[in-house]
Amino acid sequence: MKKVVIATVLVACAAALWIFVFAAEPAKVVVKSAPAIVALSNLDTQSGLADYMSLPMPLGLKGDPAKGGAFFMSNCFTCHGVNGDGNGPRAYFITPQPRNFLLETSRQKLNRPVLFEAITNGRLGTNMPAWGKVLNNQEIADVAEFVFQHFINAPQVNTPGNTPAQ
Ligand code: HEC
């Protein structure tokens, strides 16, 4: 009888140990991802923002801005405008309107991974289509690279008429 009790206690201890180990695992993961969170919350510093804005395309892709530019000028300009200022011929008719890619707020948010994701999945609740349904990953990287180089990362222009609502 005593043996059974000891065995039961041992099994209970082993189980408790396992639960402890598994329960401890997520805590370790949180600790590991802490530096990434710090890096993102560091965007108010110039070097933090520069690091964030120089992140590469996902999936090891490298976009070709020339190919992407040709696609933009036949498929995206109608809403986003040839200058990326959100004043394309269709923009007037849709709500919400496309944002101005040239504004400071766009320059602090739309890095390559964000552009890639937005173009792939579209923007729910807006007229922005999910291009992942018609383009492959390389084609999305091409047009994302074009947007990044020609609008987001372009030299700042502050001409009148370049500051629509958003
Ligand atoms: C029918 C109009 C329309 C077309 C065509 C269109 N967009 Fe959009 N797009 C929008 C709207 C509206 C939004 C949501 C408002 C915003 O964030 O600019 C949007 C959002 C975006 C965003 C996300 C901006 C953000 O802040 O999250 C990106 C990037 C973008 N579009 C790129 C493109 C590219 C590249 C193409 C062509 C492949 C394209 N769009 C075609 C209307 C359009």
40-95 residue pLDDT tens = 556 778 889 999 999 999 999 999 999 999 999 999 999 999 999 999 999 999 99
| Two tokens, residue 23 | 């329960």
Q: Quick one: pLDDT band at residue 16, thresholds 50, 70, 90?
A: low
Burial class (CB in 10 A: 0-12, 13-18, 19+), 161: exposed
Residue nearest to atom 12 of ligand 1 (CA): 98
Burial class (CB in 10 A: 0-12, 13-18, 19+), 16: exposed
Which atom of ligand 1 lies at the shortest distance from residue 147's CA? Answer: 35
Q: Quick one: pLDDT band at residue 165, thresholds 50, 70, 90?
A: very low
- pLDDT higher than threshold 80 for residue 112: yes
Residue nearest to atom 22 of ligand 1 (CA): 118
Residue 131 neighbours by CB distance under 10 Å: 19
- pLDDT higher than threshold 60 for residue 130: yes
Residue nearest to atom 1 of ligand 1 (CA): 127
Which atom of ligand 1 lies at the shortest distance from residue 144's CA? Answer: 35
Q: Which of 94, 93, 69 is nearest to 82 (CA)?
A: 69
